[in-house]
Amino acid sequence: MNACARKSLKVIEPTLQDVFQISADDVLGGPIHRFHKDPDKVEAILKNPLALPHQVDFEFGDVILRSAINAILNETGQLEGYVMNWLDITESKNLKRNLIIKLAELKQSNQDLESFATIASHDLMAPVRKIINFAEILLENSSRYTESDQLLLDKILHAGKTMRLLTDDILEYSRLAGNSSVFERVNLNDVVTEVLATLSDQIMETGAKIQFAPLPVIEANKTQMVQLLQNLISNSLKYTRANIPPVVKILSSKEDDGFIKVCLKDNGMGIKDEYTDLVFQPFERLYPEIEGAGIGPCHL
């Protein structure tokens, strides 16, 4: 080892003097591992330059510092000395800790939401099923009722079915929220094929044409992608112009930033610009005369 390769402190930044509450006169010339929590480990590292750089974090009250020891070599590769750097990482460490806490809270919140929705849906569905069943039984004997009575029973039956649909949608919404972190490679062509099979009756009834070019494989949550495209295509089949069969086109492109952009276009009723935010709020419906619960777009 070169005679100049020393293990003593030659220079110390003023900021570190404030953190450690020391003066330069007290530490200059002292051992380089003075502030390390494991001096023996530092000594072993200094004897083996190939182990460098060495990095470790320290907490001094509310301040978190990251130390790094690097070797200084001359032109011939001979060890000349060492440099020990300190970096204040307090803010980034605190942000990381807060992020971990928030993620844990979010996970718990999603689990609570799914649990609540499951219980609530089960408790709600029991009386709703009874309302629907009893209304249907009464309607089977419609000859006993006046036209006004039958109209009221029809309204009760329709309200019950709407409630059942709404309850199912709330439950599905909570399940999607709790499963959002599971990502995998998803072939969007397979997703579209699955959705079209699910909506086959609706497609036949409306005489719709669904057109899509070959779509890419992406990293995504498959359940959410199926729900996303199913809701979008279903809305395209539902919100149509009078006497015009729906045409739905699904396209994709790769953006400059590397992200995949998937577009769905249709020839339907459309959404006015002033309603683009409103339509994604739970239970909001732009066309009340068209059957629905108003929660489908919230999955998007």
What's 25's domain CATH number?
A: 3.30.450.20
Within-domain flag for 137: yes
Within-domain flag for 7: no
Of 2-11, 17-26, 52-61, 240-249, the range with the highest mean pLDDT is 240-249
Name the average pLDDT for the chain: 77
Q: Give the chain's domain count.
A: 3
Predicted confidence (pLDDT) per residue in 186-222, tens digit: 999 999 999 999 899 999 999 999 999 899 999 998 8
**Stretch 174-195: mean pLDDT, rounded?**
80
In terms of domains, do 81 and 114 share one? no
Flag whether pLDDT at 182 surpasses 80: no
In terms of domains, do 254 and 283 share one? yes
Q: Out of 5-19, 68-82, 184-198, 243-257, which region has the weakest mean confidence (pLDDT)?
A: 5-19
Domain end among 165, 181, 197: 181
In terms of domains, do 157 and 170 share one? yes
In terms of domains, do 193 and 177 share one? no
Structural domain for 250, as ranges: 183-300
Within-domain flag for 299: yes
Within-domain flag for 156: yes
In terms of domains, do 128 and 224 share one? no
Within-domain flag for 74: yes
In terms of domains, do 26 and 108 share one? no
Within-domain flag for 187: yes
In terms of domains, do 103 and 170 share one? yes
What's 123's domain CATH number?
A: 1.10.287
Flag whether pLDDT at 76 surpasses 90: no
The pair of structure tokens assigned to 134 is 């009893």
What's 254's domain CATH number?
A: 3.30.565.10
Distance CA(216)–CA(187), nearest Å, equals 6
In terms of domains, do 72 and 113 share one? no
* Distance set, CA 192 to CA 35, 205, 216, 270 (Å): 60, 19, 11, 22
Within-domain flag for 4: no
In terms of domains, do 259 and 282 share one? yes
At residue 3 the predicted structure's pLDDT band, cuts being 50, 70 and 90, is very low
Within-domain flag for 2: no
Distance CA(104)–CA(42), nearest Å, equals 36
Predicted confidence (pLDDT) per residue in 114-146, tens digit: 777 777 767 778 888 899 999 888 888 878 888
In terms of domains, do 297 and 219 share one? yes
